[in-house]
Structure 1
C-alpha cells in the first residue's frame, strides 16, 4: 500500500493511473513514472498490451497492475480508479491519455466513428477524471494531466479529433478553477511524438521525425505530477514536441471592443466593414488568414 496523499518525496510512494498505456505515449509515461518511484495502473482496452507493459514494469522491479477497462464507459472508468485504490491505497495522479483518431473530410465523415472518438477522447477524460477527483478530494489533493494536442487549435481532416482535444483544454481550465482550493492541480499536455497515431496520418508523419519518440515527452508529465517540482502550476496547457517546450495561449477577448446600446444587423455589418474586419484572427494550427482579412490586407501590401 502507498500513501496517495503524502507529499515531499517527488513521485516516490505515489499511486498513478495512466490510461491508454498499452503502447506509444501512454507506455512511455507509465514506464517513466514507475522508474521515478510511482506505483502505476497501466490501463488499455487492448488487454495483451496493457498486461505486457505492466509486466515490463514489474520485471524491472517496480509496482504495476494492468487494467483493461474502457474509459468510454463511466462505470468502467470508475473501476480503473478503484483498482488503483484497492492495489495501492489511494490515487495521487491521473494521466488521461487514452485516445482515438481518424482522418476524414467533413462531407465524408461517419457519425459512428465521430461518436466513438468523442466517447473516448472527451467523455473518457470526464469519466475517469471525475472518478479520480472524488477520491483525491477527501485525501487532500492530487494532480491530473490531460493529454490534448496541437490539433486543438484546428487541423485539416481531423476535425472531430481536434474538437475533442480543444474541449479537453477547456475542461482542464474549468477543473483547475473548481479544484484549486481542494489541492488538486489540473494541467494539459499537447505532445508531438512519433507514435502509431502519427503513422496512420500521412500529413502527421511528414511533420513528425522518427526521433521524436514518446519518451521525450514523459519528463513533462512527470514534472506536472510531482507536487514539489510543479507546486502552484495549474490550469496550464503546455506543448512539448521533443526539442520544443512552450505554453499554449488560451482563448481571450480581443480588443477593440465596440459599444452600442443595441446592435442591429446593419450596425454589425458596418462594424465588420469599418473596424473588426481588420482584426479577424488567423485560424487553425497553420494560422490561415480569413479571406476577408486577406482582402483587407491586400491594399497595404501593394502600397
Structure 2
C-alpha cells in the first residue's frame, strides 16, 4: 500500500518507551494517535511530533475498558485516517512477592497488558483487514522469562508473546503481521519507580543492570523504538509471529 500517509496508534505513549516509539514512527512518516489514560497527559508527545512537522492526535482511554478502547480507535481513525499500525505498549507494574501479592495487584496488571492489548487489537484490526495491510507490535519484556517479585508482570508479558503468535496466524491472510518486542532494562520513569519500591537508588539499580549486559550500557527508549520501526515497515512483510529481545545481550 503506497501513496497515502499511514496512521499508527501507540498506547501508553505519554512518556517513556511509548513516547519514543510515537516520535520514531512520526519521523518514519506516520500520522500518530497517542493513547494514554488521560488525553492531557499526551500533550508533550503530541507537541514533540508537531515540532518535527508530523501529525498527531491524543486520545484518553483506559485500554482495559471495551468502550474506551473502541472509542479511542474510532477517534483516531476519524481525525487521522484509518489506522493500519497498532503498538500495544500500555502497561503497569504492581510488583510484589507471591505471598504478598493481592488479587488487585494481579488483576490490574493482567487487565492493562493482556485485556488492553486484546481490546485494542480487536478494534484496530478492522481497518487493517479492509486495507489488506497492517502491522501489530506488542511490547513484551525479558521478564517473560521469569523475574522475582513479578509473577503478575512476567505472566502478562509471556502471555503477550502467545497472543502475538496467535494473531500472526489468524491475521496473516489479510496482509497483517504481528510481532513482539521484548525490552530488557531500559531507563524510564517506570524503572526509576521500581528502584524506589525495592529500596535502592536508581544509580545502584542501573549499575547492577549494566553489569549483566553484554553491551555495557542500559537500554534507552529509542532502542525499543528502532526495533518497532523495523517491524512496521514494508521491508518486514515476511516477518511475523516473532519475539525480538532488545536487551543488550542474549538476555537482559
Taking only aligned residues, the RMSD between alpha carbons, in angstroms, comes to 2.0
1:200 corresponds to: 193
Whole-Å separation in 1 of the counterparts to 2:91 and 2:38: 12
DSSP-derived class of the 2:180 partner: strand
Mapping for residues 104-183 of structure 1, pairs under 5 Å? 104-183=96-175
Whole-Å separation in 2 of the counterparts to 1:211 and 1:79: 37
Whole-Å separation in 1 of the counterparts to 2:44 and 2:169: 37
Q: CA deviation at 1:167?
A: 0.6
Higher relative contact order (CA 8 A, sep 6+): 2
2:201 corresponds to: none
Q: CA deviation at 1:23?
A: 0.5
Is 2:182 the counterpart of 1:190? Answer: yes
Whole-Å separation in 1 of the counterparts to 2:80 and 2:95: 39
The answer to whether the 8 Å contact 2:20/2:222 transfers is yes
1:92 corresponds to: 84
User: 4+ runs of 1 displaced by more than 6 Å?
Assistant: none
The answer to whether the 8 Å contact 1:122/1:164 transfers is yes
Whole-Å separation in 2 of the counterparts to 1:36 and 1:141: 17
Larger Rg: 1
Name which of 69, 72, 80 aligns with 1:80.
Answer: 72
Which residues of structure 1 form unaligned runs of 5+? 1-5, 247-284, 287-303
Name which of 12, 15, 29 aligns with 1:37.
Answer: 29
2:237 corresponds to: 231
Is 2:52 the counterpart of 1:60? Answer: yes
Bigger shift: residues 129-138 or 43-52 = 43-52
Q: CA deviation at 1:113?
A: 2.1
Which residues of structure 2 form unaligned runs of 5+? 199-204, 211-215
2:10 corresponds to: 18
